[in-house]
Amino acid sequence: MAKNVQKIGWVGMGRMGYPMAERLLDAGHDVSIWNRTKSKAEPLAKKGGKIVDKLSDLAGVDVLFSIVSTGKDVNDVYFGNDGVLSAANGKVPGVFVDCSTIAVEESAEIRQHLQARGADFIASPVSGNAKVIKAGKLSAVASGPEPAFRKVEPLIQTFAPNGVSYVGEGELARVCKIAHNVMLGVVIENLIEITLLANKMGVPRHAFLSFMNNSVMGSMFTRYKSPALVNLDWTTTFTPELLRKDLDLGLELGRENDVPMPVTAATREMLQTHFGAATLKSDPDDYLRKDFAALAETMALMSGMKLEPENKKVPNGLES
Amino acid sequence: MAKNVQKIGWVGMGRMGYPMAERLLDAGHDVSIWNRTKSKAEPLAKKGGKIVDKLSDLAGVDVLFSIVSTGKDVNDVYFGNDGVLSAANGKVPGVFVDCSTIAVEESAEIRQHLQARGADFIASPVSGNAKVIKAGKLSAVASGPEPAFRKVEPLIQTFAPNGVSYVGEGELARVCKIAHNVMLGVVIENLIEITLLANKMGVPRHAFLSFMNNSVMGSMFTRYKSPALVNLDWTTTFTPELLRKDLDLGLELGRENDVPMPVTAATREMLQTHFGAATLKSDPDDYLRKDFAALAETMALMSGMKLEPENKKVPNGLES
Amino acid sequence: MAKNVQKIGWVGMGRMGYPMAERLLDAGHDVSIWNRTKSKAEPLAKKGGKIVDKLSDLAGVDVLFSIVSTGKDVNDVYFGNDGVLSAANGKVPGVFVDCSTIAVEESAEIRQHLQARGADFIASPVSGNAKVIKAGKLSAVASGPEPAFRKVEPLIQTFAPNGVSYVGEGELARVCKIAHNVMLGVVIENLIEITLLANKMGVPRHAFLSFMNNSVMGSMFTRYKSPALVNLDWTTTFTPELLRKDLDLGLELGRENDVPMPVTAATREMLQTHFGAATLKSDPDDYLRKDFAALAETMALMSGMKLEPENKKVPNGLES
Amino acid sequence: MAKNVQKIGWVGMGRMGYPMAERLLDAGHDVSIWNRTKSKAEPLAKKGGKIVDKLSDLAGVDVLFSIVSTGKDVNDVYFGNDGVLSAANGKVPGVFVDCSTIAVEESAEIRQHLQARGADFIASPVSGNAKVIKAGKLSAVASGPEPAFRKVEPLIQTFAPNGVSYVGEGELARVCKIAHNVMLGVVIENLIEITLLANKMGVPRHAFLSFMNNSVMGSMFTRYKSPALVNLDWTTTFTPELLRKDLDLGLELGRENDVPMPVTAATREMLQTHFGAATLKSDPDDYLRKDFAALAETMALMSGMKLEPENKKVPNGLES
C-alpha cells in the first residue's frame, strides 16, 4: 500500500481529531476531511487537507478514519441518512478505522453492519491527550481482521508514533482501552494517597512528584498530571464522571469474565465519594465538570488537610 | 567542591552498590571501597578503586556512601567497634550519604548519633534495580541538611543520572521511598488485574502489555516487569515479603498521620492472599522467595485461569 | 377486615411457600392453593387448604399471595394465558401480595399492569429460610399503597410473626431486601475473616462462634450459619452465585444513587475469588452449587489454613 | 465452690463495673469493693457491698475481679506499690479475673507476674454496654487455665447471663474480644452504607432499621444503635478513636498470622475518613469524642446527603 497514493478520509476535528489528521497531512498523505462544524477543519486546507461538504463525499476513500464522541455518533457518521455509506454511487471505503472510545457492544454492532457492506473494521482507540499528540507521543491499540490492520498500521503509526499494538480480533482493542482507563483511575487515586501522605509529613508536592516522575514508577501520565496536583489547576482533561464510567465498564467486564478486581473496586468507590463531597462546593455541577484530578481535594478533606497551590512551575514531560 | 579532588568512601558491594560505585569511578572520582567480602570489590581496583581492609580506613574521606541491607548494618558500619568512626585518629567524614532502604526511626537515630560526632547525614534511597543502574536510569531522593545535600548532589547524580530530588529535612526521603514502594505494590496488583482480564478475554499478555507500555500509563517499572508477566519468569528482583513490609510501612505512616489509604490497604490484603496460596506449591518457602510478580499466579487462580508462559521475547525497556 | 371471613389465594409451594401457607391455615384462614406440582400442596388439604386446579380458580379471592422463583414466574402466574387474571368471569383479587425476591424493574412493571386491572400490589419479600419459618421467626418488609398494606398486614404477620415493616410506596421493599442480602454477604465475609483469625491463633471455631452468638453482635443469621462454619457442612441454603447477584444488585443501586459502598464492594470481590478457587475442586460446578458459606474454604486457602470439621454439635438458634 | 461462701473482691466502679458488681451482690455474693473514687462505690453498701479503703484490703479474697480502663491500670491495681499484692500479710487471691479490654501483650505480661506469685489469671472481657448489663444480656469470653475458669464460671455468668464462652489458654479471650470489635466496626459501616442507600431512595431510616432488626440479620447491636442512626443522637458509647484502635489491633493480628482481612481493612480506611471530615465541624476534637456512629454523617456527606433527625421513638431492644 504505497504511501501518498491511497486516499484517506477523516471524520472528527475535535481536540484529538484535528492534530491527528494534521500529522497525516504533515506526512504527505492525501486526506479528505469532514466535520460537522466545517470551519474547524479549514485551517488544515493550508496543509493540503481537502475539506468536503458531505459525509458521502468520503465514500470513495480507501481508508476512513473516525474519532467522534459516542458510539451513536460513529453510527450516524457511517450509517446515517447522510452518512458515508449513503453515497449515491454505492461506493464503500475498504477499511474503516475508528479511534473513538466507545462501548464493546456498540463496536460489535457497527462491525456487523460494515461487514454486511463488505468493509473491514478496525477498532483503534488511542492513549493520550491533545498535548501528547503534539509531543509526538500518542500510542494506539488495534483489533479487527489482521490483514486489514496491516494495511492501515503505517497510517495509525503516523499519528501514534509511540506505537500501535495489535491485540486480536473483534473488539479486543476496546477492552484494552477500558483496561487502560482503569489503570489511569487506580494510579491517580494511589498517587493522591501517597502524595498527600508525603505532603502532610512535610514534603512539598512538587518535590515528591519530581522524585516519582524520575523514578521507575514515573509515566507520561504521572508527569502530565503533576502540574495539576502541585498547583491545583483543575482544567478539565477528563471528567470524574467519564472516569467513573470507565471504571464501571472495567468492573463490568471483570464480572462477566469472573476476574476479581479488588483494587479497581476500591478505587471506584473512593471516586464515588468525590461526587458527594462536591456538594460542599457552591456550584457542585460546575465542580464536577472540572478535571478528575480534583479528587485530590476530596481525599485531602478526608485526610484533614486543606491544600493550597504551591505555585511552582512543574514540567509536564511533554515540553519540546 | 571540585570534582576528583574530594575523597569518597564507599561501603557496600551488593547488586546495587557495585554498579553505583563503578559509575563514580568511571566519572573519574577518587573512591575508597570497603566490603565485608573484600573479593567482591576487587574488580573495581582495575577502574581505580582503592580497596581498603578496615572500615576505619575510610575515616579520612570527605563523603562516605553506604548501601547495605538493614538499618542495623548501617549502624554497625558507622558506629560498630570496627566501624568508620572507630578510627584511632579520631577523623570523621564530613558527610555521610546512606542509600540503603531503612526505616524512618532507624534513620533518625543514626542522624542523631552522627550529629553528635559533627557529621552531616543525607538519607538518599534510590529507585531502580541493577539493570536500571546499568541502563543509566537510576534516580534518587534525598533529605537532610540542604547545604550538605548541595555538596554531594553532583556525586549522587553521577550514579542516579535520571535525577535526584531533594525533599526536605530529616528522614523525609525515607518517607518518599516508602511511598514509592507503595505505588509499586498498587501498580503491580492493578496491572495484574487488568492483564488477566484482557488475557482471559482473548488478548495475549505480550500484546496487552506492549500497548500499556507504549501508552501514557507505561513506566520503566511496567516495562521491566513485562517479561515476567508474559513468560512467567519469577526470577527474584524483590520478594513478596519485602513488598508487604513496605506496604505495611506505608499504611503505618498513613495511620500515624491520619491519611486514609483505601487502595493501598486493598492491595496489601490481596498480596497477603499470595502467602496463603503459596501453600499449594510443593515448596511454599522457596516459592515465596521468588519475585513478587508471581502474585499474578495467585490472582489467576482466583480468576479460574491457569497461566502458561507465552514464550515471547518482550523488551524490558532497559536495552542498550 | 374480619379474620377468617376474607378469602385468600396462595401460589407457590416451595421450601418457603409451603410452611408460610401452613401458618395461615393453622391460624384458621380460608386459603385456596395452587401449585404447578399439585401433589406438593395436597398435605395442606388436611389443614383445610382448598387445592385448586387452575390459577384462574383463584380470581375470586380477596387477597392473592405469591412466592415463586423469578420475576417471570410472578408474571406468568398473574398475567399468563392461564394466569389468575385469565378467569372467564373477569374477576380480579383486590390485593396481590408478592413475597418472591425479584428485581425492582420487574416489580414495577407488574405493579403497573395490576393497577391497569384495578388491583393493588404489595411487594413483601421476607427474611429467613424454611427453618426460620418453622421456628416462628420469619420477618417481612412491605411496600405499595399504604391502605392496601394495612388490609393485608395481619395476614403477613401471621406467617412473619417477627414483624412486618412497611417502608413506603412502590418497590421500596425490594430495595430493602437487596440491602438485607448485601448485609448478609458482608457479615458472612467478615465473620469468616475473624473466625479464621481466631481459629489460626488457637481458638476452636465452635468456641469462638459461641461467644459471638451470645454477644451483642450475634444475630439469627450468625447462629444458624455456625454449624456450617464449625463442621464444614455446605448443604445449600443459598448459592454463592445468588449472593453475588444480590451484592451486584446492591452495588448497582449504589451507583444509580451516588452512594459509595466500599465495604460492600470489597466483599463482592472476595466472593468472586471463590469462583476462581473452585477450579481447584474435582467438580467446580458442583462445588459452586453448595452453600455460599463454603467461602470459608477459599478464605482459609488464602490464609494458608486447611480446615477440618470440628464435629461439634452446635446450636443453630432455631431449636424448639 | 459453694455460692455465698467464697469471698469476692471487685476493683472498678465505672459505667460497666458498677452494674456488674451489683449483679453479684443481688445474687447474694460476698463482695468487697475498692474504687479510686470511693464515693462511686458507696451506693452498693446498701446491697451488702463491703467498701474497702486500700487495694491491699482485698488480698484475702478468693477471687479478685477487675474492670478498669487500660493495661497499665490493671498492672497498677495488681502490682502497684499500694496494689492488691502489696498486702503486709503476703496473702494472694487464688484467681484474678480481668474483664477490662486490654492488649494481648499486656495481658500476657500480667499473667506471667501472677503465675510467679502463685495466682491463676483468667482474661474475661465482656460484650455489651451499661444498658446491656441492666437488661441482663451481657455475655463474656474467657481464657486461661481451665480449672481456674471452671471455678469462677458461675460468678462470671452471674453478671454475664447471656453466656460465657471458654476459648482456651492464655490470652485467646483478648483475641476474641478484638475480633468481636472488628465485627462491630464492619457491621456499623455496612449498616450505614445500606441505610443511607435505602434512605436516599425514599425509605425512612426508622422503617428500614425496623425491618433489619426484625430480620435474621438483626442483632442486639443493630437494635441498640438504631435510635442513633434514626435520630442522629451521637451520645458517646464508644469513640471513633477506640474503634479505630481495635480495628488496627485486629489487622495487626491478621498480619502476624498471615490471615487476609480485606473487608476489615476497607472498613478501617473508611473510618479514617471520619477523622478528616471532622475538620468541617466547628470543634473537631469535640466532634470526635462523640459516638462512632456519627460516621453516618461522614458517609452521608460522601453520598451527597444531608441527614436530618427523624424524631421517631425507636426501640433499642433493651427495654424491660
Chain segment D210-228, per-residue pLDDT in tens: 999 999 999 999 999 999 9
**Across the strands, what pairs with B66?**
B11, B98
Cβ–Cβ under 8 Å, residues A303 and B262: no
- Return the residue in C176, C214, C215 with the most chain D beta carbons within 10 A, the one to mutate for interface testing: C215
CB-nearest to B258 from D268, D270, D276 is D276
Task: Give which of B272, B273, B279 to mutate to test C binding, by max C Cβ within 10 Å.
Answer: B273
Q: Are A61 and A93 in contact, with CB atoms under 8 Å apart?
A: yes
> What pLDDT is attached to residue D203?
98
Nearest to D247 by CA among D179, D316, D176: D179
Nearest CA to D79 out of D52, D106, D49 is that of D106
Q: Residue B39 gets which letter from DSSP?
A: H
Rounded Cα distance, A256 and A15, in Å: 33
Q: Which residues contact D215 (CB under 8 A, 6 or more apart)?
A: C127, C128, C139, C141, C162, C180, C220
Over its C-alpha atoms, chain C yields an Rg (Å, rounded) of 21
Segment holding D167, helix H or strand E:
strand D164-168
Contacts of C259 in chain A (CB under 8 A): 272
The residues, any chain, with a CB within 8 Å of residue A180's CB and separated by 6 or more, are: A127, A141, B194, B211, B212, B215, B217
CA dist list (Å): A237 to A212, C44, D23? 21, 67, 67
* Helix (H) / strand (E) containing C186: helix C172-201
pLDDT for A117 beyond 80 = yes
Task: Please list every residue in chain D whose beta carbon sits closer than 8 Å to the beta carbon of residue A300.
Answer: 276
Nearest residue on chain C to A266, judged by CA atoms? C262
Q: Which residues of D162-174 are buried (b: 16+ CB within 10 A; e: fewer)?
A: bbbbbbbebbbbb
**Cβ neighbours around A147 below 10 Å, total:** 9
Closest CA to C264 of A78, D189, A91, B173: D189
Distance CA A7, CA C159 (A): 75
Which of C262, C270, C272 shows the shortest C-beta gap to A269?
Answer: C262
Task: Return phi, psi of residue B265, to 5°.
Answer: -65, -40
8 A C-beta contact, residue B63 and residue B8: yes
A77 and B CB contact within 8 Å: no
Contacts of D269 (CB under 8 A, 6+ apart): B260, B261, B262, B265, C262
| C201-219 CB burial, b ≥16 within 10 A, e <16 | bebbbbbbbbbbbbbbbbb
Give the CA-trace dihedral at D115, D120, D125, D131, to 10 degrees: -140
Query: What is the rounded distance in angstroms from the CA atom of residue A141 to the CA atom of residue B213?
Result: 11
| Residue B240, C-alpha cell as written in the block | 513478596
**How crowded is residue A256: how many other Cβ atoms within 10 Å of its Cβ?**
12
Q: Are D262 and B275 an interchain contact pair (Cβ–Cβ within 8 Å)? A: no
Query: Quick one: pLDDT at residue D320?
Result: 67
Q: Which residues of chain D have pLDDT under 70?
A: 1-4, 320
Contact C201 D175 (CB under 8 A): yes
Name the residue with cell 518518599.
B176
Residues in chain D, total:
320
Are residues A265 and C261, on separate chains, in Cβ contact within 8 Å? no
- Residue C224: Cβ-neighbour burial (10 angstroms; 0-12, 13-18, 19+): buried
Are D304 and A272 an interchain contact pair (Cβ–Cβ within 8 Å)? Answer: no
B268-277 exposure pattern, b = at least 16 Cβ within 10 A, e = fewer: bbbbbbbbbb
Other residues' Cβ atoms within 10 Å of the Cβ of residue D133: 23
All residues of chain D having their beta carbon less than 8 Å from the beta carbon of residue C302 are 260
By Cβ distance, the residue of C273, C303, C304 closest to B302 is C273
Numbers of helices and strands, H then E, in chain B: 13, 9
How do strand D126-127 and strand D139-143 relate by DSSP bridges?
antiparallel
pLDDT reported for residue B89: 86
Residues sharing a CB contact under 8 Å with residue C21, sequence separation 6 or more, in sequence order: C10, C13, C31, C33, C44, C49, C65, C159
CB A193 within 8 A of CB A210: no
Interface C-D: count of C-beta contacts within 8 A: 261
Paired with C219 in beta bridges are: D219
Rounded to a whole number of angstroms, the distance from the CA of C241 to the nearest CA of chain B is: 15
Amino acid C88: pLDDT? 84
Q: Pick the residue of D269, D288, D299 with the most B CBs within 10 A to test the interface with B by mutation.
A: D269
Nearest to C194 among D182, D222, D303 (CB): D182
The chains in contact with chain C, meaning 3 or more Cβ pairs closer than 8 Å, are: A, B, D
pLDDT of residue D71: 94
Residues 6+ apart with CB under 8 A from A9: A31, A32, A33, A34, A58, A61, A63, A64, A65, A84, A93
All three cell numbers of A188: 491517580
CB proximity D319 to B under 8 Å: no
- Which run of H or of E encompasses B176? helix B172-200
CA distance A184 to A222: 9
Q: In the A/C pair of chains, how many CB contacts fall below 8 A?
A: 40
Take residue D15 and report the three cell numbers written for it: 459505667
Where are the strands (E) in chain C, listed by range?
7-11, 30-34, 50-51, 63-66, 95-98, 120-123, 126-127, 139-143, 164-168
Question: What per-residue confidence (pLDDT) applies to D28?
Answer: 96
Query: Over the stretch A60-94, which tens digit does the pLDDT of each residue have?
Result: 999 999 999 999 999 999 999 999 999 888 899 99
- Picking from C280, C279, C271, the residue whose alpha carbon sits closest to that of residue C242 is C271
For residue C258, give the nearest of A248, A258, A275 by CB distance: A275
Residues of chain C with pLDDT under 50: 1-3
- What element of type H or E holds D8? strand D7-11
Q: Dihedral sign for Cα B133, B139, B141, B147, please.
A: positive
Quote the CA–CA distance of B24 and B262 in Å, as a whole number. 41
> B313 — alpha (psi -120 to 50), left (phi > 0) or beta?
beta
Q: How far is A137 from chain B (nearest CA, A)?
A: 8
Q: What is the pLDDT of residue A88?
A: 84
Measured between beta carbons, which residues in chain C are less than 8 angstroms from residue B302? 272-273, 276-277
Distance (Å, whole) CA D122 – CA D153:
10
Burial status of residue C101 (CB atoms within 10 A of its CB: 0-12, 13-18, 19 or more): buried
Chain D: partners with 3+ C-beta pairs within 8 Å: A, B, C
Alpha helices in A80-129 (DSSP H): 104-116
Q: Indicate the pairing of strand D30-34 with strand D50-51.
A: parallel
- Going from the C-alpha of A252 to that of each of A255, A290, C240, C246, D197, the distances in angstroms are 5, 26, 18, 15, 21
Q: Which of residues 213-272 of C touch A (CB under 8 A)?
A: 248, 254-255, 258-262, 265-266, 268-270, 272
For C219, the 3-state DSSP assignment is: strand
What residues does C66 pair with on adjacent strands? C11, C98
Q: What pLDDT shows up at residue A320?
A: 67
Cβ–Cβ gap D278/A305 under 8 Å = no
Grid coordinates belonging to C89: 368471569
Chain Cα centroid distance, residue B269 = 23
Contact B138, B161 (CB under 8 A): yes
pLDDT attached to residue A7:
97
Q: Which residue has the cell 570534582?
A: B3
Judged against a pLDDT cut of 70, whether residue A45 lies above it is answered with: yes
Nearest-angstrom CA–CA distance, A272 and A295: 10
pLDDT (0 to 100) of residue A5: 78
C266 close to A265: Cβ distance less than 8 angstroms: yes
Tell me: pLDDT of A1 over 60. Answer: no
Count Cβ atoms below 10 Å from residue D90 Cβ, excluding itself.
9
Tell me what pLDDT residue C2 has: 45
Which grid cell sits at C150?
394495612
Helix (H, G, I), strand (E, B) or coil at C51: strand
